[in-house]
Amino acid sequence: MSYYVDNFVNNTQTFQINDARQLPIHIPTAEQLLYCKPLYERAVALKQNNSTDENELYEVEQKLNSFVEELYYSV
């Protein structure tokens, strides 16, 4: 968020409430939530358990990142 605000909304050091009002918020559909919720829950579980399988966490995070990118680029 700070990257977006710094580069596209307000490039000063202060973040003001009017800057927050300009941030795009996309509400996912029920179908989109059904896709991302298990990914989110898996990522949280891996982090809470201090999983040693960093590859699995990385893959889940990549899927979530791709989902969010697609969500915002499709608007």
Mean pLDDT of the 6-25 span: 70
Which domain, by its residues, includes 50?
2-73
Judge contact between 33 and 16, C-beta under 8 A.
no
User: Comparing 5-9, 28-32, 68-72, which segment has the lowest mean pLDDT?
Assistant: 5-9
Residue 41's alpha-carbon distances to 28, 45, 71, 75, in angstroms, are 17, 6, 19, 25
Report the chain's mean pLDDT, rounded to a whole number. 82
Q: Is the pLDDT of residue 2 over 70?
A: no
Task: Give how far Cα 22 sits from Cα of 9, 10, 11, 19, 50, Å.
Answer: 7, 10, 13, 5, 36
Whole-model pTM?
Answer: 0.64
**Cα Rg of the chain (Å, integer):** 16
pLDDT in tens, 19-51: 777 778 888 899 999 999 999 999 999 888 886
Counting the structural domains of the chain, the total is 1
Please tell me the predicted confidence (pLDDT) of residue 34.
94
